Amino acid sequence: MIPMSLADIATAVEGRLNETADPEAIVTGGIEHDSRKVGPGGLFLAIPGAKVDGHDFAPKAAAEGAAATIASRPIDSPAVYVDDTLRALAALAREVARRSEATVVGVTGSNGKTSTKDLMGQLCASLGPTVATQGNFNNELGHPYTVCRVEPETRYLVLELAARGVGHITDLCEIAPPDIGAVLNVGISHLDGFGDIETTARAKSELPRFLAPEGTAVLNADDPRVAAMAAKTRAQVLTFGVTESADIAAIGLDPGDGRHRFTLRTPDGDAPVQLRLWGGHHVYNALAAAGVAWRLGASPDHIADQLSRAGRQSERRMDVFTLPDGTTVIDDSYNANPASMGAAIRALGQVPTAGRRIAVLGLMADLEELSDQCHRRAGEQAAEAGVDELIAVGDGTEPIIDGADGVAAATHVPDQTAAIELLRNRLRPGDTVLVKGSRYRTWEVADHLRAKEDNDK
């Protein structure tokens, strides 16, 4: 964190110091809400919870060298007292962002945010000291926590902006106003919060709407709802897509073995890219990242070289590994919506395999009345991709089987235990298996296959 005195921190969060806190003490470390991670000179954020109250760990944080705890009730160690510790974290993050000279990059979209943020983070890191959201730590806790990781030498701050309703992205932007904002796509996701796709588009448009006239909106030219956001921003507009009319374009796409290659076209020239990441959806992610890097002054050759080097950084996202018997596993189990499900199934169809293509698909959550339709479409996509065997896991996934006409073997199982047992009996050396679903709904299956990898070694 940018060093600040406890007095300055108390002012920023509209709190007050207790009698044991030294107003002149300088916080030189980061802020943590896990007392085990607090280091000397850091801050501890005490978050009260239903089962665990962070205030109970304040003495441990102080013993580890924390300068103070941000607390909402009295404690027996140096503290900044506030009414609400999460609101105080957001206020502190605003002060850190105000003091920082880093260029702030925000990215949002219905899917691909985390993978694109990881690419942007790697590209920015090649240009200077960079802080980026870890994993998908993009909510009301993770967002300000990431901003508070900024140090005086940080040049770039890359933030993933998530939303489950209108106004959420604006709230995040107000903490650390973006200089560059990228919108990847608008699709069917979180309908429990948005209600419909047009409301989703309105929520995602909050990022380009927020940008100042001197900022840059990086917009997907191939998504009509995103392209329309060009008329809703005061900022300069930079488009990306697979059509030559886009400012940042992928020309001559070659899917290869599922790791795409293309010529990156920019206003400053062209350069060849060979992605290490699996799946055609990463082409758009790479183009969005390229647009940000180009806006920051990187040359086409540098951007292409870094994109060709960039690897996966977040767990359970198109993590492709091979078991000792030659079976290939595509672990894309972190989350799922209709767009990402379709992309993963297409990737399964593109990966070369000596055996069968098997898809283990779990529920796509929060689809409301569109759930049956979207799951049936996933079954149709499996048939179109040439999937040989399909396993639909859990309640609500039965329509996947209904749509899987043309798949040689399509089975619905009640839970992950049954899916694992089915794989034990049917998986053969040389097969390729995709594991995909919302959040935890296929994690046990993926972990079983990863344990098999470790045990066989």
Give me the pLDDT at residue 457, please: 45
SS (H, E, C) 39-87: CCCCEEECCECCCCEHHHHHHHHHHCCCCEEEECCCCCCCEEECCCHHH
Give me the pLDDT at residue 431, please: 97
**pTM for this prediction:** 0.90
Could you report the per-residue pLDDT of 399-432, keeping only the tens digit for each? 999 999 999 999 999 999 999 999 999 999 999 9
Give me the pLDDT at residue 139, please: 81
Is the pLDDT at 74 greater than 80, yes or no?
yes
3-class SS at 17?
A: strand
Interior angle at CA 269, CA 264 and CA 275, nearest 5: 20
- Comma-separated ranges of CATH 3.40.1190.10 domains in the chain: 100-309
**Amino acid identity at 345:** I
- Mean pLDDT on 256-276: 96
Torsion over CA: 238, 240, 246, 249 (sign): positive
- Mean pLDDT on 3-23: 97
- Comma-separated ranges of CATH 3.40.1390.10 domains in the chain: 4-89
Question: Does domain 100-309 match CATH 3.40.1190.10?
Answer: yes
**Separation of alpha carbons 433 and 264, rounded Å:** 31
Residue 318 contacts residue 277 (beta carbons within 8 Å): yes
Cβ-count burial of 76 within 10 angstroms (0-12 exposed, 13-18 middle, 19+ buried)?
exposed
- Comma-separated ranges of CATH 3.90.190.20 domains in the chain: 319-456
Domain 4-89, CATH homologous superfamily name and number: MurE/MurF, N-terminal domain (3.40.1390.10)
Give me the pLDDT at residue 164, please: 81
Give me the pLDDT at residue 138, please: 79
E strands in 231-327: 236-241, 248-254, 261-266, 269-274, 319-322
Alpha-carbon radius of gyration of the chain: 23
Give me the pLDDT at residue 9, please: 98
Could you report the per-residue pLDDT of 347-387, keeping only the tens digit for each? 999 999 999 999 999 999 989 899 999 999 999 999 999 99
What does each C-alpha distance from 214 to 95, 102, 185, 295 come to in angstroms? 22, 15, 23, 12
Task: Tell me the fold of 319-456.
Answer: Protein-Tyrosine Phosphatase; Chain A (3.90.190)
